[in-house]
Amino acid sequence: MSFKKVIGIILLKGSVIFGSDLIRELNIDIRPDFMSVSSYGNERESTREVKIIKDLDANIQGKDVIIVEDIIDSGHTLKKVIDLLQLRNPKSLKVCTLLNKPSRREVDVFVDYVGRDIENLFIFGYGLDLDQRYRNIKHIEIFES
């Protein structure tokens, strides 16, 4: 059986649960790798300053790559990751997100695969955190202050 080889870049920490579930369901030879990026620090609003905390282990030059994201809000973090990875000359680069907040978009980013568009809500669970807690909740909750 022939499978297409893909590098799946799971963005830590929020995407690890979704990314793990996703790669188990795909019928392709997907090799997971991880990046840790931050634009929130310990805040609930993005600082717009994106920091690479952990870079990839794999060389993606000439490879098919899919970025696995938990939620896309303003787009700043994803844009920075896309720009950085494009400099490494992948064969192809696609984006998959569990959740998408198009009403919050400040930066134009194209998302190839969207699980669900959502309103401007602050959510947590299923990998998404509330002050670095509750990532282990099996479902998604809406935070109501």
Please give the full DSSP string across 27-71, using - where no structure is assigned: SSEEEEEEEEEES-TTSSS--S--EEEE--SS--TTSEEEEEEEE
pLDDT tens string 97-133: 999 999 999 999 999 999 999 999 899 999 999 988 9
pLDDT band at 2 (very low <50, low <70, confident <90, very high): very low
Q: Which of 73, 83, 108, 112 is catalytic?
A: 73
Strands 92-100 and 29-38 turn out to be unpaired
DSSP single-letter state for residue 126: T
Closest CA to 26 of 61, 74, 81, 68: 68
Model confidence at 61: pLDDT above 50: yes
Model confidence at 10: pLDDT above 90: yes
pTM of the model: 0.88
Question: Active-site residue 73, yes or no?
Answer: yes
Please give the pLDDT value at position 76: 92
Start-to-end CA distance of the chain, whole Å, equals 51
CATH code of domain 5-142: 3.40.50.2020
Domain ranges of the chain: 5-142
